[in-house]
Structure 1
Amino acid sequence: MAATAFEMHMARTGGVEVLKGREVSLSPPGPGEVQVAIEAAGVAFADIVMRTGLYPGVKAPVTPGYDFVGRVEALGSGVEGFAVGQRVAALTVTGSYATHRNVEARFLVAAPEDAPAEALVAGVLNGLTAWQMFHRVAGSVAGECVLVHGAAGGVGGLLLELARLAGVRAIGTASAGKKAEVEAKGGVHVDYRAEAVAARAIALSDGGVVAAFDHVGGPHLKKASLAALRDGGTAVLYGGYDATRGGKARPDALLRMVLADRLSALGLFSGSRGVVGYNVTSWRNARPEPYRQDLAKVLGLIAQGAIQPRIAKVLPLAEAGEAQALLQSAKLAGKIVLKP
C-alpha cells in the first residue's frame, strides 16, 4: 500500500525559491530497497550546486538531500540485516529532503541510538569524507603534520579532530574570527587572509606537511597545498569551491582551475609528491564495503563523544530554502540540518 510523504522538490534550477514543498505518493519498497522515516537530513554545498544546475550527473527536476539519518519502516524483498524500527544512516546524493523515502539497502548503515539525529547526520557526508581522506587516502600517522584548509568548516573541523585522535599535528586555515574554533579542535590556526599559507605551514611543520586537504582547487592547489608539502607528501583535492563560489558558476575561475591543474609529472616524481582527487560518491560506489565500515566507524565515534561535529543550525524541512541561503552566505560555522 502506498504511503504519503512530504518533500522539498525543485522542478527547475534557480535560486532558493525553486525549492517547493509537495506531498507525494510513496510506493512500497522494491526488491533490495528499504523504506525509511527520516529524522534528519544534512544540507550540503553540493545541494546548492545541484540547485543551480552545475552538479555533474544531476539535473532538475530533482529532490535534493545528500544524506540522512532515519528509521526503517518497511523492507523490500531480499533485504537482510535490517529490521523495522532500526535506526539507519546513508549517503544518498539526492532525495533526502523528505519525511519518508525508499533507499537501496546497500547504502544503509546501522546508526547508534544514543546520539541526536542531527549530530549523526553531520557525520555522514562530512564525517565520511574526512575519515576516508585522512585514513585511506593520505594515510597520516602519529607524529606527522598535516594542513587543513577551511578548518572551521564541516569537513575541515572533523579533519582536525581526526588528526588529534591519531596523534597527528594539524595546521588549520581559517579567517581571524574563527581562530578559537580551530584551536578548540586542536589545530594550529593560520589566517589565510593575512599570512602566506604555504610558507607558514612549512615553518610550523619544520620543513613541510605530509598531507594537505584542499577543497578550493585551481591556483590554490599549487600555491597553498602543493607548495606546503614535504618530500613524500600528498595533496588531497576534494572540491572545486573556487569555481562555484556561492553556488554560482565562475567561468574565469573554471579556466584558472583547468590551467592550474596541469601539473608536472616530473616535478611530482622528483619530490615523491602526489596529488589525489577524492570524491565521496565515487568511493561509495566503487568500494562499498569500506564505505559501510568507515561510515559505521564515524557514527560510532560521534555516539562516543570522541568527535563532535558542530551543528550551526537546525531548521524544519519546509525551510530548506532558508537553510541553503544560510549555507551560501558562509556566515555560520558547522553543519546545517533539516528535521521533518
Structure 2
Amino acid sequence: MKAIRVHEYGGPEVMRFEDVPLPEPGPGQIRVRQRAVGVNFIDIYFRTGAYKAAQLPFTPGKEGAGEVTAVGAGVSGFKIGDRVAYGSAEGTYAEEPVIAAAAAVHVPEGVDDATAAAMMLKGLTAEYLLHRVYRVKPGDTILFHAAAGGVGLIACQWAKHLGATVIGTAGTPEKAELAKAHGCDHVILYREEDFAKRVREITQGKGVPVVYDGVGKATFPASLDCLSPLGTFVSFGSASGAIEAFDIGLLAQKGSLYAIRPTLFTFSSQRPVLDAMAENLFGAVRSGAVRIPVNARYPLAEAQQVHRDLAGRETTGSTVMEP
C-alpha cells in the first residue's frame, strides 16, 4: 500500500509518499481501507518533532474514515465491512492503516466518509470543549479564537445552537465573514483590533466566562483580559507557537481565574465517554445544527502542500486527503 513516511523531523519536504507492506492487525486492532484522511495541526507538531513519535520513520495522521477490512484478536463490536471513523488513531496518512479498535466509532447512515473524516478530531474537540471543559448554556457569551478554523467553525455553530452569544476572532475580513456564516454574532479582526478591548466593549465591561484558545502565543496573555472574575481560560492548541513562561500568579491578578490545557486523547480514552461524545457529535451533524465545512480536498500524495497551506493559515474549515 501507499503511505506517507517521515524519516526525520523537519519541514513538509520530509514527508515521502512510499510503498509499504500491507499491515496485519494485532490484538485489539482493526485494518481500515480509508476513503478519506483528516488533516490537523497536531500532524504538523509530530512532523516537526515538537511532539515526538514513538519511533522513526513513522506515518503521521490521527484522523480518517473508511471500511474495516480485517479484525485482530480480541476485538468486539467491529466486523469486516463496517464503516468507521476515528480522531485519535495513529498513522492515518496511509491507504489501509492498522489502528486501535478503541479509537474507532461506527459511522451512522447519512454521514459520508469525507464528512466523517473531517469531523472526528475537530468535532470531538468541539464536543469536549463545549460540553465537558466548560458547559456552554443559554445566555452565555463566549470568546472563540480562530473562529474560521477547523475547530472554530464547528464549535461556533454548536455554541450558537446551545444558546450562547458567540464572539470570534479571525485574521482577515474573508475569514470574518465565514465565521459569521457559521454562528458568530461578533467577529474581531485580531490583527487590526485590540481584541481584549473589543470583548469588553461588546460585553459592556463584564467580560466572558470562558475563552477557548487554540492559537497560543499570539493571543496570550490578552485572552485573560477578556475573562470575567472566576472565568475559565481554555488553552487547547498553539497554532502560533507555545505559550511560554506561564506565570500562575496572573490568574489571581486578573480575577481568580481558572486555566486548563485539555486534550482530546484524555477525554476519549474511556470507551463509554468516546461513544457518548461521538453520539452527541453525530446527532448535532445529522440534525443540521452543525454543518461540517470540507473546504479543500487533496490526493494523499500531495500531503506536503497540504501541510504548507495549513501552517501558512491558508485554510478554512476542514481539509481531507483522499488515498
TM range (shorter): over 0.9
Distance 1:214 1:102 in 2: 32
| 3-state SS of paired residue (2:119) | coil
Does 2:265 align with 1:281?
Answer: yes
Distance 1:266 1:330 in 2: 30
2:181 to 181, 184, 191: 184
Correspondences of 1:92-131 after superposition (within 5 Å): 92-131=88-127
Structure holding more helix per residue: 1
Contact 2:158 2:289 in 1 (8 A): no
Letter in 2 for 1:182: A
Letter in 1 for 2:198: R
Change (3 A) 1:317 1:219: closer
Q: CA RMSD in A?
A: 1.9
Does 2:294 align with 1:311?
Answer: yes
| 3-state SS of paired residue (1:234) | strand
Q: CA deviation at 1:180?
A: 1.1
Contact 1:148 1:214 in 2 (8 A): yes
TM-score by length of 1: 0.88
TM-score by length of 2: 0.92
1:246-297 deviation line (CA, Å, top 9, x unaligned): xxxxxxxx6xx332x11217716x8342111111123333x44222321232
Does 2:129 align with 1:133?
Answer: yes
Contact 2:147 2:179 in 1 (8 A): yes
1:337 to 308, 316, 320: 320
Change (3 A) 1:241 1:102: same
Letter in 2 for 1:274: Y
Contact 1:124 1:299 in 2 (8 A): no
Distance 2:314 2:24 in 1: 41
Letter in 1 for 2:181: A
Change (3 A) 1:242 1:16: closer
1:324 to 307, 314, 318: 307
Count of matched residue pairs:
320
Correspondences of 1:289-304 after superposition (within 5 Å): 289-304=272-287
Distance 1:40 1:109 in 2: 15
Counterpart of 1:34 in structure 2 is 30
Distance 1:142 1:46 in 2: 31
**5+ long unaligned stretches in structure 2:** none
Change (3 A) 1:266 1:32: closer
Distance 2:54 2:9 in 1: 11
**5+ long unaligned stretches in structure 1:** 244-253
Contact 1:64 1:93 in 2 (8 A): no
2:142 to 146, 150, 153: 146
Counterpart of 1:161 in structure 2 is 157
| 3-state SS of paired residue (2:221) | helix
Distance 2:287 2:98 in 1: 29
Contact 2:25 2:71 in 1 (8 A): yes
Q: CA deviation at 1:329?
A: 2.1
